[in-house]
């Protein structure tokens, strides 16, 4: 089970620790579990579920933000592993380097019924990738792409278009990397032209915000025919920390900024910015990676089968029209 | 008015709101103290270092379009406080204050005008309205201007001067990046030119959207242009930034813009580019 807990997960942590202890105790004594301990474990499990329900009933925006950045939250590669088969990762932008904060490659998604060749759907998956250990975090640049990440993505989007393969993007970044080299090599242009490429694409594009949707660096992968957010993911023009330090001129006002920014899946769904919310397992995606992957998989397959019958021009036109009126300005 | 006002005050005021009140002005780049009238005669360009001061929309219109040829479009678009946003001040109050200060309803003006007898549609940012930030009104004006260009077969020129997306409109301002690019994707199905003119400053969500995908990208000298602000970058990489970092000249060296054009030559260059692409 999980071993890293957020502050508000602490009550759950205590119960899990107890359950774990009892299980170990049981194992240590014999193969045939002692019935009374089994009962104890069962009642603790029930209690745990109740506590989780209680904790998750009324999450604040700040708690949701913390969940979206939970150190155990599944990342793009986790979903690729759990959702797809035969994933073939493709590297590099053919211009400068391979950006490891962006994963891209082709794979099959097995349809739920039938195991024949026609039971598979080819897809391109492009997503931000964060790291879990310190070493991995550095390797993945904390999920913050340089221009090369966006240029690799564009290359793959066009490749998918050539073969009429639907594009799936996973969004999970604090933002595009604010570095010297990134500026030198045109971070702005990379983001703008990625948005442009996605706007023009004549194949189905489906985006899912799985964690942090940080500003333009996230939007670059978010211009899709269907945009979904996981229940405890966020999507915002600026991080609450950035907002607090710029507008409130006070970094301790992060929670106020989190509330006023309206960046949760529920907020964005109510505003009509996204098409749907993907519900997470009790206690968040990190508590049941298999279950959330199945949810995501079925959302992808449904959206693909809806979009697959539209002709190429319609797919482009529909997406452009969607983004022209998304802000409801003329309503 | 004293020449010896505290240094920090002077600089801040000047960079924020263009030319400050008073007879003398200090250049924020080279520190030269210039007689205001002289600066104005010089198209608000520092005579010593050639820094191009931020222009208000009226002056930009005057120096860009043939006399009395500019007629505004979509003038009645007004911002609203869709998120009911409040930081140290209410967003509503910030809007009201800047509307009174600038005489504008929001940070950009659109319209059509003649450039040496060639008709063009244009969007002009004014930095003095909330830092030229792009919210729903600015995004809508840009979108409608491109639509107008498609319908009336007009080239489009955008003069950017903006800190980026307007935080007070949250996710809605982020979505202006994709909205403005979506309309350019439509516009680019025609054979009409889109010229992007980057002036001081063009950063964040403006730089990372429509401003960076012009058919031709022109910058005024010494304009700050970039995705992330220099202070954010310094904090991230823990190093000092090189001299001239993120200024027009740096972008030209790195292949990010087509050319740097001085204010006094801008109109002529725009005319030359338009006449080649339009074959007139």
Chain A residues with beta carbon closer than 8 angstroms to that of B212: 186, 188-189, 191-193
Q: Are B223 and B52 in contact (CB under 8 A)?
A: yes
B77: domain CATH number? 3.90.226.10
Residues B66 and B45 in one domain: no
Superfamily of domain A65-325: 2-enoyl-CoA Hydratase; Chain A, domain 1 (3.90.226.10)
Give contacts of B 31-90 with A, CB under 8 A. Answer: 83, 85-88
> Residue A1: its pLDDT value, please?
46
Q: Are strands B118-125 and B194-203 parallel, antiparallel or unpaired?
A: unpaired
| Bridge partners, B158 (sequence order) | B123, B196
B167 reaches A (C-beta below 8 A): yes
Q: What is d(CA B97, CA B117) in angstroms, rounded to the nearest whole number?
A: 37
End-to-end CA separation in angstroms for chain A = 48
> Residue A159: its pLDDT value, please?
98
Residues B159 and B194 in one domain: yes
End-to-end CA separation in angstroms for chain B = 51
Three-state SS for chain A is CCCCCCHHHHHHHHHHHHHHHHHHHHHHHCCCCCHHHHHHHHHHHHHHHHHHHHHHHCCCHHHHHHHHCCCCCCCHHHHHHHHEEEEEECCCCCCCCCCCCEEEEEEEEECCCCCCHHHEEEEEEEEECCCCCHHHHHHCHHHCCCHHHHHHHHHHHHHHHHCCCCEEEEEEECCCCCCHHHHHCCHHHHHHHHHHHHHHCCCCEEEEEEEEEEHHHHHCCCCCCEEEEECCCEEECCCHHHHHHHHHCCHHHHHHHHHHHCCEHHHHHHCCCCCEEECCCCCCHHHCHHHHHHHHHHHHHHHHHHHHCCCHHHHHHHHHHHHHHCCCCCC
Residues B42 and B106 in one domain: no
- Closest residue to B185, CB basis, from A196, A243, A253: A196
Average pLDDT, stretch A297-310? 96
> Residue A198: its pLDDT value, please?
98
Q: Are A188 and A231 in contact (CB under 8 A)?
A: no
> Residue B5: its pLDDT value, please?
43
> Residue A278: its pLDDT value, please?
98
Q: Please give the residue that has the higher pLDDT: either B2 or B222.
A: B222
pLDDT mean across residues, chain B: 92
A199 reaches B (C-beta below 8 A): yes
Tokens encoding A293: 């992957």
Residues B40 and B12 in one domain: yes
Is A13's pLDDT higher than 60? yes
Residues B162 and B250 in one domain: yes
Asked if A191's CB is within 8 angstroms of B140's CB, the reply is no
Nearest one of B199, B124, B127, B200 to B156, comparing CA atoms = B124
Mention every residue, 6+ apart, whose C-beta is less than 8 A from residue A234.
A64, A65, A68, A209, A212, A213, A263, A264, A265
Q: What is d(CA A249, CA B156) in angstroms, rounded to the nearest whole number?
A: 38
Per-residue pLDDT tens digits for B138-191: 999 999 999 999 999 999 999 999 999 999 999 999 999 999 999 999 999 999
- Is the four-CA dihedral A280, A281, A283, A289 of positive or negative sign? negative
Tokens encoding B244: 């001239």
Residues B45 and B60 in one domain: no
Q: Residue B120 burial by CB count (10 A; 0-12/13-18/19+): exposed, middle or buried?
A: buried
Tokens encoding B56: 């208000």
Q: What's the gap in Å between the CA of A239 and the closest CA on chain B?
A: 10
> Residue B18: its pLDDT value, please?
59
Q: Interface pTM (ipTM) of the complex?
A: 0.95
Q: Please give the residue that has the higher pLDDT: either A27 or B23.
A: B23
Chain B residues with beta carbon closer than 8 angstroms to that of A222: 178
Per-residue pLDDT tens digits for B97-133: 999 999 999 999 999 999 999 999 999 999 999 999 9
Tokens encoding A229: 């957010």
Asked if A329's CB is within 8 angstroms of B236's CB, the reply is no
Chain-centroid distance, C-alpha A301: 17
Average pLDDT, stretch A253-274? 94
Residues B74 and B188 in one domain: yes
DSSP assignment of B160-190 equals: EEE-SB-GGGHHHHHHHHHHHHHHHHHHTTS
Is B2's pLDDT higher than 50? no
B-chain residue closest to A196, CA distance: B181
Asked if B239's CB is within 8 angstroms of A180's CB, the reply is yes
Per-residue pLDDT tens digits for A101-142: 999 999 999 987 655 446 899 999 999 999 999 999 999 999
Query: 3-class SS at B267?
Result: helix
Tokens encoding A205: 């594009």
Is B3's pLDDT higher than 50? no
Chain A residues with beta carbon closer than 8 angstroms to that of B211: 188, 192
> Residue A251: its pLDDT value, please?
83
Per-residue pLDDT tens digits for A174-208: 999 999 999 999 999 999 999 999 999 999 999 99
> Residue B6: its pLDDT value, please?
40
Is A330's pLDDT higher than 70? yes
What DSSP state is assigned to residue B66? -
Q: Are B149 and B121 in contact (CB under 8 A)?
A: yes
B-chain residue closest to A317, CA distance: B186
Chain A to chain B Cβ contacts (< 8 Å)? 170
Q: Are B193 and B213 in contact (CB under 8 A)?
A: no
Please report where in the chains the tokens 């397959």 appear, as a residue. A301
pLDDT band of residue A28 (cuts 50, 70, 90) is confident
Asked if A180's CB is within 8 angstroms of B175's CB, the reply is no
Per-residue pLDDT tens digits for B89-99: 999 999 999 99
**End position of a domain, from candidates B53, B75, B90:** B53
Residues B241 and B121 in one domain: yes
Q: Please give the residue that has the higher pLDDT: either B9 or B125.
A: B125
> Residue B10: its pLDDT value, please?
40
Q: Could you give the angle at the alpha carbon of A210 between the alpha carbons of A205 and A211, nearest 5°?
A: 135
Q: Residue A267 burial by CB count (10 A; 0-12/13-18/19+): exposed, middle or buried?
A: buried
Is A280's pLDDT higher than 90? yes
Bond before A231 cis per omega within 30 degrees: no
- Closest residue to A186, CB basis, from B88, B237, B256: B256
Average pLDDT, stretch A233-250? 91
Query: 3-class SS at B4?
Result: coil
A219 reaches B (C-beta below 8 A): yes
Average pLDDT, stretch B265-280? 97
Looking at the structure of chain B, the number of domains it has is 2
> Residue B12: its pLDDT value, please?
46
Query: 3-class SS at B219?
Result: strand
> Residue A30: its pLDDT value, please?
63
Domain region containing B6:
1-53
Q: State the maximum Cα–Cα separation within chain A, in Å, rounded to a whole number.
A: 70
pLDDT band of residue B19 (cuts 50, 70, 90) is low
> Residue B7: its pLDDT value, please?
42
- Phi–psi pair at A195, nearest 5 degrees: -60, -40
Per-residue pLDDT tens digits for B245-254: 999 999 999 9
Residues B21 and B113 in one domain: no
Residues B59 and B48 in one domain: no
Chain A residues with beta carbon closer than 8 angstroms to that of B226: 183, 187-188
Residues B117 and B216 in one domain: yes
Q: What is d(CA A238, CA A244) in angstroms, rounded to the nearest whole number?
A: 10
Chain B residues with beta carbon closer than 8 angstroms to that of A188: 207-208, 211-212, 225-227, 256
A193 reaches B (C-beta below 8 A): yes
Per-residue pLDDT tens digits for A132-178: 999 999 999 999 999 999 999 999 999 999 999 999 999 999 999 99
Q: Please give the residue that has the higher pLDDT: either A24 or B94.
A: B94
Q: What is d(CA A213, CA B117) in angstroms, rounded to the nearest whole number?
A: 46
Tokens encoding B21: 């009140």
> Residue B255: its pLDDT value, please?
97
Q: What's the gap in Å between the CA of A249 and the closest CA on chain B?
A: 9
> Residue A27: its pLDDT value, please?
75
Q: Residue A2 burial by CB count (10 A; 0-12/13-18/19+): exposed, middle or buried?
A: middle
Residues B143 and B224 in one domain: yes
Q: Residue A114 burial by CB count (10 A; 0-12/13-18/19+): exposed, middle or buried?
A: exposed
Nearest one of A38, A39, A14, A42 to A26, comparing CA atoms = A38
Is A212's pLDDT higher than 80? yes
């Amino acid at each position: 089970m999980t071993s890293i807990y957020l502050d508000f997960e602490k009550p759950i942590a205590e119960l899990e620790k107890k359950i774990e202890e009892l299980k170990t105790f049981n194992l240590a004594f014999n193969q045939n579990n002692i019935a009374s301990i089994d009962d104890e474990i069962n009642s603790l499990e029930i209690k745990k579920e109740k506590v989780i329900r209680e904790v998750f009933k009324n999450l604040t925006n700040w708690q949701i933000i913390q969940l979206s950045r939970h150190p155990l939250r599944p990342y793009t590669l986790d979903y690729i592993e759990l959702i797809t088969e035969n994933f073939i990762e493709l590297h590099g932008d053919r211009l400068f380097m391979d950006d490891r904060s962006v994963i891209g490659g082709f794979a099959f998604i097995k349809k739920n019924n039938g195991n024949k060749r026609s039971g598979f759907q080819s897809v391109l998956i492009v997503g931000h990738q964060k790291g879990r250990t310190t070493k991995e975090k550095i390797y993945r640049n904390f999920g913050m792409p340089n221009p090369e990440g966006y240029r690799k993505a564009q290359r793959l989007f066009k490749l998918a278009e050539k073969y009429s393969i639907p594009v799936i993007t996973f969004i999970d970044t604090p933002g595009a990397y604010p570095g010297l080299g990134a500026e030198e090599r045109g971070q702005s242009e990379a983001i703008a032209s990625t948005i442009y490429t996605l706007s023009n694409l004549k194949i189905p594009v489906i985006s899912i915000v799985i964690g942090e949707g940080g500003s333009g660096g996230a939007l670059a992968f978010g211009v899709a025919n269907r945009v979904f957010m996981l229940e405890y993911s966020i999507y915002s023009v600026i991080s609450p920390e950035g907002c607090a330090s710029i507008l409130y001129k006070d970094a301790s006002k992060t929670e106020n900024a989190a509330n006023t920014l309206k960046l949760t899946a529920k907020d964005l769904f109510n505003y009509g910015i996204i098409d749907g919310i993907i519900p997470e397992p009790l206690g968040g995606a990190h508590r049941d990676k298999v279950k959330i992957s199945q949810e995501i998989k079925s959302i992808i397959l449904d959206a693909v089968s809806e979009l697959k019958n539209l002709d190429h021009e319609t797919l482009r036109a529909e997406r452009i029209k969607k983004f022209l009126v998304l802000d409801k300005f003329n309503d | 008015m004293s020449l010896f006002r505290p240094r920090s005050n002077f600089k801040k005021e000047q960079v924020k709101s263009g030319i400050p009140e008073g007879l003398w002005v200090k250049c924020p780049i080279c520190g030269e103290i210039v007689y205001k009238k002289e600066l104005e005669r010089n198209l608000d360009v520092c005579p010593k270092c050639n820094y191009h001061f931020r222009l208000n929309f009226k002056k930009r219109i005057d120096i860009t379009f043939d006399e009395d040829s500019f007629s505004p479009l979509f003038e009645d678009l007004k911002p609203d406080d869709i998120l009911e946003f409040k930081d140290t001040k209410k967003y509503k109050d910030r809007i009201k204050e800047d509307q009174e200060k600038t005489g504008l309803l929001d940070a950009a003006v659109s319209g059509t005008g003649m450039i040496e007898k060639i008709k063009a549609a244009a969007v002009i940012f004014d930095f003095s309205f909330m830092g030229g930030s792009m919210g729903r009104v600015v995004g809508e004006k840009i979108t409608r201007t491109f639509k107008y260009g498609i319908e009336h077969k007009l080239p489009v020129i955008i003069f950017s001067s903006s800190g980026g997306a307007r935080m007070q409109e949250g996710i809605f301002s982020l979505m202006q990046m994709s909205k403005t690019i979506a309309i350019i994707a439509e516009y680019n199905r025609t054979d009409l030119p889109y010229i992007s003119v980057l002036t001081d400053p063009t950063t964040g969500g403006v730089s990372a959207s429509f401003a960076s995908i012009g058919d031709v990208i022109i910058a005024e000298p010494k304009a700050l242009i970039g995705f992330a602000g220099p202070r954010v970058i310094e904090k991230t990489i823990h190093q000092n930034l090189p001299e001239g970092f993120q200024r027009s000249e740096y972008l030209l060296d790195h292949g990010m813009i087509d050319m740097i054009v001085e204010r006094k030559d801008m109109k002529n260059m725009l005319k030359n580019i338009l006449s080649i692409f339009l074959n007139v």
